[in-house]
Chain A
């Protein structure tokens, strides 16, 4: 029986799912042709949340690193964009990957400290780091200190001279970024690391005893999510054109919403954050007038989901109907039954 089998990732459902994704992507790339300014703005915001939630899901849902401090990297990314364009004359679009690299460099020593804290305490430790970043940002007077700073007009026009073209450009970069983030996560999960991560998620002790280097795997995931999160953060603030410590390191905007989106959509599944973001924005469009009550209700729904259906909306549907949108499963196909399927 040697080499008479191969590993198959796709199922019929995931082939349909991938095809739907591809068709949807074509439609979204063409959005500047069919949508207005508000549509593009809303879509860009949706992309940012899909990316942030997917990254948080990778961190918490797969690597078991429950962080409530990812706003540290959103804010860091935003500030690196402002600092590198204003102080060093970097092109604003180039500043987005620069922000990712800087965040990854910061994430290494931060992980060195935070990984000393076990489980629950790690979560609060991440929050402390975010607070430290916020307090340091508010001490840098060159970047506006506590009150923040706007992106100078000269840098804004550097991207494209017409306002419409700028908006199109930022929209496409936002779309490209979420596609890259999702593709990277899917590829990571299909790689050796993905297998190790799934093993850690299911049983850390068993994974360790089967030779998985748990700490190293977690470190790789922590640094990669910092890299991605900071790029998303840089883009968010490139679109806002203004940054301040309180908006950049906001726990509500960049962590509470992201966690609720992931939990409601389905934690530990790649599709979960996408479904969760759609639900989040539909609810927001209808309930936005409620203000702080909206956040309160979202918190209550997330608690209810966690207690009653801990796998979220997508986990429930996937188990009930065997649905799978992305080719992430691993099935052994033997030579004999390869002919029959």
Chain B
């Protein structure tokens, strides 16, 4: 992210516009973290604590794909997405379906254990060194939006992809047979099963979809920032905050949540570089205090 150094009182109006624009663009990435999380919570009331570590896993798979095949990292998406989806389907069938029930403890503890396992396995295989993927010229390409506000091509692409992913999820949820099956199991598992749906399969498909979404996010992380095995939990937290800020009413809520989080972080970083993350957390806690149902709550009915 482009960042201006200097005391806050010297920041011009144009620079503020710039800060907010950059915050909005990073918000798209957070929205993709959040969409994967909201999707599985919506379908099976599961919060996957390993969500962030799976994002990092996707980044490492992208790294391996580009290293071995010599692909452009952005093209690696077409390989990383099916791999992650397959991992998600298998994980749900083999492990997570056994944890679902009235008790909140088993899914939380199993996904927490999974998070620790993924983190330490990545550490063992790839060491703690910080890595980064090079996407070539597109990384530094940018164009002026207006005088003084530059937009990077890559951040803009990432934002556009986030909108496309969330729009596609929204369509899938409300316009397709699979989406109807998701909503049916979400509303009443027992009745959905009576109507001939195989819940275990539906849940596994939801998890596959969730990991496909975060595979896209993982590739963008790999290209845009340095990553190492330990950054997963922070990505989980960003996604979670975006979900709660946006509310559970619609997939578009996660986009708004991500943008609010991204802009808060950008403003915090401007005030003091040490406050970037803190400002995002405080925005989340503020929303939780004044509007705990989020900005776009689920309509009760």
Contacts and interface: CB of A to CB of B under 8 A. Distances in A.
User: Do these two chains interact?
Assistant: yes
A127 interface: yes
A136 B107 CA distance: 31
A295 B113 contact: no
B237 A131 contact: yes
A260 B116 CA distance: 11
Contacts of A252: 116
B116 A295 contact: yes
A127 B244 CA distance: 14
Interface string B88-114: 000000010011000011111110111
Interface in A228-272: 251-252, 256, 259-260, 263, 267
Interface string B263-296: 0000000000011011001101100110010000
A218 to B, nearest CB: 13
Interface stretch (B44-52, B72-80, B188-196): B44-52
B241 interface: yes
Interface string B178-203: 00000000000000000000000000
Interface string B35-62: 0000001000111010000000000000
Nearest to B46: A120
Contacts of B124: 292-293, 296
Contact of B281 (A64, A135, A146, A267): A135
Given A120-B47, A120-B108, A260-B113, A131 B99 contact: no
Given A119-B104, A121-B240, A128-B285, A259 B123 contact: no
Contacts of A123: 47, 49, 104, 108
Given A120-B45, A300-B113, A306-B109, A64 B104 contact: yes
A66 interface: yes
Contacts of B107: 120
Interface string A109-124: 0000100110111011
A175 to B, nearest CB: 30
Nearest to B285: A113
A299 B110 CA distance: 9
B113 A117 contact: no
A307 B99 contact: yes
B227 to A, nearest CB: 17
Contact of B49 (A64, A68, A260, A306): A68
A299 B114 contact: yes
B114 A124 contact: no
A233 B244 CA distance: 30
A300 B112 CA distance: 11
B233 interface: yes
Interface residues on B, range: 35 or more
Given A60-B105, A306-B106, A293 B114 contact: no
B135 to A, nearest CB: 30
Given A131-B277, A132-B278, A124 B240 contact: yes
A292 B114 CA distance: 14
Given A68-B49, A136-B278, A300-B113, A293 B241 contact: no
By secondary structure, the B interface counts as helix
B120 interface: yes
Contacts of B64: none
A59 to B, nearest CB: 12
B172 interface: no
Contacts of B113: 260, 299-300, 302-303, 306
A55 to B, nearest CB: 16
A127 B233 contact: yes
A136 to B, nearest CB: 7
A113 B117 contact: no
Interface string B237-261: 1001100100000000000000000
B238 to A, nearest CB: 10
Interface in A295-324: 295-296, 298-300, 302-303, 306-307, 310
B204 interface: no
Contacts of B114: 299, 303
Contacts of A292: 120, 123-124
B120 A302 contact: no
Interface string B210-241: 00000000000000000000000110110011
Nearest to A203: B102
B116 A263 contact: no
A198 interface: no
Given A124-B49, A138-B274, 5 more contacts: A117-B288, A256-B116, A260-B113, A306-B106, A306-B110
Interface of A: 60, 64, 66, 68, 113, 116-117, 119-121, 123-125, 127-128, 131-132, 135-136, 138-139, 146, 251-252, 256, 259-260, 263, 267, 292-293, 295-296, 298-300, 302-303, 306-307, 310
21 contacts: A64-B104, A66-B108, A68-B49, A119-B45, A128-B240, A131-B234, A131-B277, A132-B282, A132-B285, A263-B109, A267-B105, A292-B123, A292-B124, A296-B116, A296-B117, A300-B117, A302-B113, A303-B95, A303-B110, A306-B109, A307-B99
